[in-house]
Amino acid sequence: MTGVILDGKGVAKKIETDLSQRVAKLAARTGGKKPILATILVGDDPASATYVRMKGNACERVGMQSQKVILPQETTTEQLLAEIDNLNANPDVHGILLQHPVPPQIDERACFDRISIEKDVDGVTSHGFGRMAMGERAFGSATPAGIMRLLAHYDIPIKGKHAVVVGRSPILGKPMAFMLLNEHATVTICHSRTQNLPELVKHADIIVGAVGKPEFIRGDWIKDGAVVIDAGYNPGPVGDIELSAILERCAAYTPVPGGVGPMTIATLIAQTVEAAERAA
């Protein structure tokens, strides 16, 4: 048995084709106005700059606009909050992305939570998380929401399955667990300090690696026929799961790169278009 490749790159291209049509229709209804995603980059981290550029390129591909706000490394919490307030008040801006991480002197949670829930297209606010967890309408955190889109595209069964999420970050592991729970999976949340982690992983029908450590989850922990989602972001072409050891045994898997990453950006753009449609 060779696992089905969950081709996030290919699915993202299909999503962008649909979004291009929606953006064109929206512009026709609104006198030529297009959705705008505002991105805020604080400091000079090269990886963050690359991510922001990739998101701007995605906006261009679907006919949207991006508004870049670049702030110096020494920016304070109060200065960043003021920038977010300006974007919240701008009716032409439909989505706001604060690139993570911010410099250590900034209260990141306070700044995330300052983003208007109507413009929280990256799904980072506490308000949005709470609504999502309760099954209410909210923009989901982009990476787990992208994973859910990918699973739906490939008709991966979730209802009644045992999902194990390894990772507990507020914008990946925790929302991932609640999204799976909302789709009627039985969910176990683990992390790098979980005792007997290999035994817990062996029970997973769906395993999500989101712990941020290269190949932390070993292939021999994963049972035959599992669906393997690697959401790890690490230097080099390697995720959080030892994928090479399970390619011939799993039911399906996300490659690294080309799996989860493209779906994160596609979901961010899709949620910005949805925000613009609501505003119109």
Cα dihedral sign, 130-133-139-140? positive
DSSP H or E run through 48 = helix 46-61
H helix and E strand count, the chain: 9, 9
Catalytic residue among 7, 113, 120, 122: 122
Q: Is 9 a catalytic residue?
A: no
Q: What is the pLDDT of residue 244?
A: 95
Q: Could you give the dihedral angle defined by the CA atoms of residues 177, 213, 205 and 222, in that order, rounded to the nearest 10 degrees?
A: -160
Is-catalytic flag, 25?
A: no
Contact 57, 26 (CB under 8 A): no
Q: How many residues does the chain have?
A: 280
Looking at residue 2, what is its pLDDT? 86
User: Domain limits of the chain?
Assistant: 34-116, 142-261
Residue of 7, 99, 230, 240 with catalytic role: 99
Predicted confidence at residue 237, as pLDDT, reads 84
What pLDDT, on a 0 to 100 scale, did the predictor assign at position 233? 81
Nearest partner of 115 among 49, 176, 69, judged by Cα: 69
At 235 the pLDDT is 80
Phi, psi dihedral angles at 209 (to 5 degrees): -95, 115
What distance in Å separates the CA atoms of residue 197 and residue 191, rounded to the nearest whole number? 8
- The string over 24-44, giving b where at least 16 C-beta atoms fall within 10 Å of a residue's C-beta and e elsewhere, is eebbeeeeebbbbbbbbbbbe
How many Å apart are CA 49 and CA 56, to the nearest integer? 11
Classify domain 34-116 at the CATH topology level.
Rossmann fold (3.40.50)
Residue tagged active-site, from 34, 55, 119, 161: 55
- SS3 state of residue 225: coil
Whether 34-116 and 142-261 share one fold: the answer is yes
For 60, counting Cβ atoms within 10 Å of its Cβ (0-12 exposed, 13-18 middle, 19+ buried), the class is exposed
Contacts of 18 (CB under 8 A, 6+ apart): none
Return contacts of 230-239, CB within 8 angstroms, 24+ apart.
230/254, 230/255, 230/256, 230/259, 230/260, 231/143, 231/144, 231/147, 231/167, 231/172, 231/176, 231/260, 232/256, 233/261, 238/214, 239/209, 239/214, 239/215
Instruction: Please provide the CATH number assigned to the domain covering 142-261.
Output: 3.40.50.720
Instruction: Please report, in tens digits, the pLDDT of each residue of the chain (280 residues total).
Output: 789 999 999 999 999 999 999 999 999 999 999 999 999 999 989 989 999 999 999 999 999 999 999 999 999 999 999 999 999 999 999 999 999 999 999 999 999 999 999 999 999 999 999 999 999 999 999 999 999 999 999 999 999 999 999 999 999 999 999 999 999 999 999 999 999 999 999 999 999 999 999 999 999 999 999 999 999 988 878 999 999 999 999 999 999 999 999 999 999 999 999 999 999 9
Rounded to the nearest 5°, which phi and psi values hold at 190? -125, 175
Residue 97: what pLDDT?
Answer: 98
> Residue 234: its pLDDT value, please?
83
Q: Is 195 a catalytic residue?
A: no
